[in-house]
Amino acid sequence: MLLTVAALVAGMVGCRPVQYQLTISSTEGGYVSRPGEGTFTYNEGRVVRVVARNCLGYWFSEWTGDVDTVDTLNSFVTTITMDGDYSIAATFRHICDR
């Protein structure tokens, strides 16, 4: 039994978690404040909180791109579950476009 446990632990020492990349951008009229814009690396299964902010004269419309695991597409605050590489964008519209 002790040898089995030791073998399992020894086998796990070199294991690294699966990691995926999240690329975040925005359209004119706003930006992503959390975690920011650019490419970020997260462990598989991580739930990442994303927050978009609009500029004066614009309103947040939706998240676009690889949005299969985005929790709420029409909310400026949402989460995305990392089970693959994703590229998402915060989309903003000019207030006159309502």
Q: Residue 67 is encoded by which pair of tokens?
A: 């949005």
Q: Please, what are the domains in the chain?
A: 17-97 (3.10.20)
pLDDT number for residue 15: 86
Q: What is the pLDDT of residues 36-65, one digit of tens each?
A: 999 999 999 999 999 999 999 999 999 999
The angle subtended at Cα 19 by Cα 13 and Cα 20, nearest 5°, is: 175
Task: Please give the mean pLDDT across all residues of the chain.
Answer: 91
pLDDT number for residue 54: 98
The dihedral through the CA atoms of 30, 32, 36, 41 has a sign that is: negative
Strand duo 77-81 + 47-54: pairing: antiparallel
pLDDT number for residue 96: 87
| Residue 67 DSSP label | -
